[in-house]
Amino acid sequence: MEFVLKHTAFAHLREVGSFPCTLNPHEAESLALVGAMIDQVLELHPGAQRLHIGCDEVYYLGEGEASRRWLQQEQNSTGKLCLSHMRAVASGVKARRPSVTPLVWDDMLRDLPEDQL
């Protein structure tokens, strides 16, 4: 996401203002931006069977103000936050093109309990 979030026009969608590498998962506009990117990729690759949606090394996830408030609620964790965003993005892929299988990097999922996956 850094290639987009480094631009001033998208800086308000950063999880932490000074770091352009992590998207704020609480902003509806964040999901809309990702959806627009998915639309562009799918349009250019009409025969795609899989689409990699990233989620690699999301170092600052949970450190933004909205995420900190969310994490203060009982039962919430950074892992749940990450998984929730992954599900939203993957659902967006499936809604746009049901035949496409979303793929993600697994590093953010490795420490999650099996029952959360």
Residue 117 has pLDDT above 90, yes or no: no
Q: From CA 85, how far away is CA 90, in angstroms rounded?
A: 8
Residues marked as catalytic: 57
Q: From CA 86, how far away is CA 89, in angstroms rounded?
A: 5
At a CB cut-off of 8 Å and minimum separation 6, what does 26 contact?
A: 64, 66, 67, 70
CB contact at 8 A, 93 and 53: yes
Q: Tell me, what's the pLDDT at 116?
A: 82
Going along the chain from its start, the domains and CATH numbers come out as 2-116 (3.20.20.80)
Residue 113 has pLDDT above 90, yes or no: no
- Which of 42-46, 63-67, 97-101, 107-111 is predicted with the least confidence, judged by mean pLDDT? 107-111
Residue 109 has pLDDT above 90, yes or no: no
Q: Tell me, what's the pLDDT at 35?
A: 98
- Residue range 31-46: average pLDDT? 98
- Residue range 11-31: average pLDDT? 96
